[in-house]
Amino acid sequence: MTRASNPPDARMVIGRLKDFQRASAHYVFERLFKGPDPVDRFLLADEVGLGKTKVAQGVIALAVDHLWPEKDRIDILYICSNADIARQNINRLALDGFEDVSLATRLTLMPLRMGDLSKRKLNFVSFTPGTSLDLGAQAGVVDERALLYCLMRQVAPVGGDGPWSLFQGDAYKSWGARLERFERETWP
């Protein structure tokens, strides 16, 4: 694992916030990590434009500062309503010196990305319902089917055309080439 020797500067991040944002960040952090009755989740709801993302960055900075000495790896999971907002906000949430740690991926493909995550002390992972939890596409995404096909072959090798046909879904013409590329470029 690549370890940065110093955590992000939480005081600098907190110092950039407005007073009410700073108070909110400290309150949320205290409720999550300190006090007699800590909680495991916290909802911050406010009007558009009052800096919920900035407060979240403050909470992240305080949490990372708190966890840094005792954890080998810290993963920040950001769930957002759509991919455009996720791309915009994941960069706003990143901490100075750790801008390159964001990752947006499909939840079902996370097993393939775990090696990337374990190389870093701090990771930002973003998911959106449209990229991670979309149940509308019944056959799924080709890479997801390729992953499942490879896993199935590894656990229970079966021959014949049945599994091939099942996992190709509607990618009749491209399935063979896509699976070959997946195995060459992605599969360990």
Q: What is the pLDDT of residues 50-62, one digit of tens each?
A: 999 999 999 999 9
Is the CB of residue 96 less than 8 Å from the CB of residue 9? yes
Residue 156 burial by Cβ neighbours in a 10 Å radius (0-12, 13-18, 19+): exposed
d(CA 175, CA 178): 5
Residue 188 has pLDDT above 60, yes or no: yes
CA 159/CA 156 separation, integer angstroms: 10
Q: Between 186 and 113, whose confidence is greater?
A: 186
Instruction: Band the pLDDT of 155: cuts 50, 70, 90.
Output: confident
All domains in the chain, ordered by first residue: 10-132 (3.40.50.10810), 142-185 (no CATH)
> Of the spans 31-35, 102-106, 125-129, 146-150, which averages the highest pLDDT?
31-35
Q: Where do runs of H (alpha helix) occur along the chain?
A: 10-15, 19-33, 52-67, 83-93, 110-118, 129-132, 142-155, 162-168, 175-185
The edge-to-edge listing of strands for the beta sheet with 102-104 is: 74-79, 122-127, 102-104
pLDDT in tens, 81-131: 777 777 778 778 878 777 665 555 666 677 776 667 778 888 887 776 655
pLDDT band at 2 (very low <50, low <70, confident <90, very high): very low
From 41, 39, 40, 44, select the one nearest 21 (Cα to Cα).
44
For residue 74, the surrounding DSSP H or E stretch is strand 74-79
